[in-house]
Amino acid sequence: MKSSIPTAMALLMLSAAAHAGSPPINVFFPEPTMDRWNYPMNFTPGIRESASSFAALNEVDFDDRDGQILLGWDTGAQAPTGQGASNYQILEARVIIGVATGNLFQYDPTHDAVETHYNAGDPELIPDSDAGRPVELFGVEYRNGFTHETYLENSPFKNGEASDTGVRNAFPIDLLAGSTADISNQVMDRFEVAPWAIGRSGALTPGQLVPSETDLTFEIDVSSPHVREYLREGLDEGRIRLMISSLHGAVQQGGVFSDFFMRESFFNFDQSGRLEMVVEIGPPCDADFDGDGAVNSGDMATLLGSWGQQNIAADLDLSGEVGSPDLAQLLGAWGACP
Ligand SMILES: [Ca+2]
Ligand SMILES: [Ca+2]
Ligand SMILES: [Ca+2]
Ligand SMILES: [Ca+2]
């Protein structure tokens, strides 16, 4: 039994060594640096007091994810930029935003499969098993040369293209077949997505109409490799940009949409999009899936147990699935985290 105390101390020291880099940085922005309604018929993009998210399914001239909401925070004031993307270890990330107009949509805290949005009579239609549609959060990319830096509250929705389908200058992305792509026409093009976060509230019961001024919290899945990579690059640049999108308003449901406060809200600016992150600056240890401070047999078991799977932490090389390059990367990092 005598040896138990030194063992415990050794474990404590090991665990301390694993976090020997700089202490965690708590990032909190009480409102966005920029926010705008990304909708083709919005002629005052950046200055509205609220913005709504909804679908236009079966409308050839509009994206499925028709009304989207772009939120942005310039993070350099709280998290130093330019450290090299891989040196941002993101422990937590969440967005909190208040519902502006109440009782418009039913609370659904879980993802609905793409097949639940297909038309009545479609052989692949799956009935939606829970009331309502979730409000989802994704990363953002751009067309026509725009970037996080140059796409502003008042930048053009599109660059004069005739159609409004697949042309928006800023769009929500997810990892599809190993690279990120626009998901705005996910139902028409019949592919699945994995939201980076879903808006949730402990004060709500699934299926209930969401009251005005309810805060929805989007807890971002930082264990997902492409999500983590996106946030790392954002912190390195000093610009985090995220898109709220939902598939409310399917034809069968009538005119349902969700509506959120923007930073220009006269009374509820403090319920516009808030960003909270906990970040450590230091070298990565991405193969330490269980966070015990070392890459070891437990992590190896996790990787082997998820062989061939997609969009999970063990996909170290971001190829889209877990395979031998990920195993090689894990073996190369074997031992205590730097
Ligand atoms: Ca705005
Ligand atoms: Ca549902
Ligand atoms: Ca480990
Ligand atoms: Ca892989």
Residues 18-58 have pLDDT tens digits of 444 578 999 999 999 999 999 988 888 789 999 999 999 98
The neighbourhood of ligand 2, an ion, using CB within 5 A, equals: 108, 112, 128, 130
Q: Does residue 13 have a pLDDT over 80? A: no
Question: Which ligand neighbours the alpha carbon of 109 most closely?
Answer: 2
Cα 12 to middle of ligand 4, angstroms: 33
- Whether residues 320 and 184 share a domain: the answer is no
At residue 17, the pLDDT reads 41
- Whether residues 138 and 37 share a domain: the answer is yes
Flag whether 8 is in a domain. no
Question: Which ligand neighbours the alpha carbon of 45 most closely?
Answer: 1
What is the average pLDDT across 264-269?
A: 96
Cα 289 to middle of ligand 3, angstroms: 6
Confidence of residue 254 (pLDDT cuts 50, 70, 90): low
Cα 20 to middle of ligand 1, angstroms: 40
Cα 7 to middle of ligand 3, angstroms: 18
At residue 18, the pLDDT reads 44
Cα 7 to middle of ligand 1, angstroms: 55
Cα 131 to middle of ligand 2, angstroms: 5
Flag whether 270 is in a domain. yes
116-145, pLDDT tens digit by residue? 999 999 999 999 999 999 999 999 999 999
End of a domain among 239, 262, 281? 281
What is the average pLDDT across 64-82?
A: 97
Minimal CA–CA distance to 163: which of 56, 268, 276?
Answer: 56
Cα 54 to middle of ligand 2, angstroms: 14
- Whether residues 320 and 260 share a domain: the answer is no
At residue 249, the pLDDT reads 83
Confidence of residue 229 (pLDDT cuts 50, 70, 90): very high
At residue 145, the pLDDT reads 97
DSSP 23: P
Q: Does residue 76 have a pLDDT over 50? A: yes
Cα 108 to middle of ligand 2, angstroms: 6
Cα 188 to middle of ligand 3, angstroms: 42
- Whether residues 235 and 175 share a domain: the answer is yes
- Whether residues 177 and 36 share a domain: the answer is yes
End of a domain among 251, 266, 281? 281
User: How high is the mean pLDDT of the chain?
Assistant: 91
- Distance (Å, rounded) from C-alpha 86 to C-alpha 84? 6
Please indicate whether residue 18 or residue 102 has the higher confidence score (pLDDT).
Answer: 102
Q: Are 274 and 95 in contact (CB under 8 A)?
A: yes
- Supply the range of the domain harboring residue 150: 25-281
- Whether residues 275 and 295 share a domain: the answer is no
State percent of the chain over pLDDT 70: 92
Structure token pair of residue 235: 């912190």
Structure token pair of residue 164: 């409004």
Q: Are 272 and 263 in contact (CB under 8 A)?
A: yes
Based on C-alpha coordinates, what's the Rg of the chain? 21
Number of domains in the chain: 2
Q: Does residue 252 have a pLDDT over 80? A: no
Question: Which residues neighbour 98 within 8 Å (Cβ) at sequence distance 6 or greater?
Answer: 213, 214, 215, 216, 260, 261, 268, 271, 272
Cα 245 to middle of ligand 1, angstroms: 16
107-117, pLDDT tens digit by residue? 999 999 999 99
- Whether residues 327 and 263 share a domain: the answer is no
157-192, pLDDT tens digit by residue? 999 888 889 999 999 999 988 899 999 999 999 999
Neighbours of 308 (CB within 10 A): 7
